[in-house]
Amino acid sequence: MKKLLFAALAVFAFSFSNAQEEGGSALSKGSWVIEANTGFGGDGVAAQGANTGFGLYSVDGTTVWAIGAEAGYFLADDLALKVGLGYTDFDGSSNFTYKLGAKYYIDSQFPVQVDLTGASSDDVFGSENPLWLGLQGGYAWFVADNISIEPGLRYNLSLNEDFTDEGLFEFRIGFALHF
């Protein structure tokens, strides 16, 4: 957990030290984004297993909570390559989640994202390490030049037939800092 926190702080510090030149857009080539999401919907354990954001779910005395974040680098205007890490606690058991994907802002205002999300755990998912293909779309509301709130819809398609053959549909609200 300390390594995860240190890595997140290092990315954040690197972003500040390499801030984009004045006059550039938040979505310009060479800029960075750090994003945290909240997810609503899905199916408890399975939904939280695909999470690199913040989440809380409780049913029948079992509480599931998740924390994580994503960071991205803009390879071109409006196109970012993103990575994410997350940690989920399942009432004493835990798993780590990772994500790799691309996010494109149509007209610099409508983000669409495609990613691959995986989770690893010793005992939460049995012997299976689940994998999802994520599809996400939404709207980027820039409340400041470098801060956006991004509500959207996400669908996680399970790539593991033995784990689950069902997809997970979520409503998400993302909070992003652009550097």
pLDDT at residue 108 greater than cutoff 60: yes
Residue 104 pLDDT:
98
**In sequence order, which residues have a C-beta less than 8 Å from that of residue 126 and are 6 or more positions away?**
none
- Angstrom distance (rounded) from CA 48 to CA 67: 10
Residue 22 pLDDT:
47
pLDDT tens digits, one per residue of 6-62: 554 454 444 444 444 445 689 999 999 999 998 766 555 555 556 788 888 777 888
Residue 82 pLDDT:
97
SS3 30: coil
> What is the end-to-end Cα distance of the chain in Å, rounded?
26
Residue 20 pLDDT:
41
Residue 122 pLDDT:
62
- Angstrom distance (rounded) from CA 43 to CA 11: 31
The single-letter code of the amino acid at 13 is: A
pLDDT tens digits, one per residue of 122-179: 665 556 678 889 999 999 999 999 999 999 999 988 888 766 656 778 888 999 999 9
Q: Is this structure's pTM higher than 0.85? A: no
Average pLDDT for 83-88:
92
**Domain ranges for the chain:** 30-178
Burial of 3 (0-12, 13-18, 19+ CB in 10 A): exposed
Q: What is the DSSP string of 155-166?
A: EEEE--TTT-S-
What is the domain class of 30-178 according to CATH?
mainly beta
Q: Which of the four pLDDT bands, split at 50, 70 and 90, describes residue 72? A: very high
Query: What mean pLDDT value characterizes the chain?
Result: 81
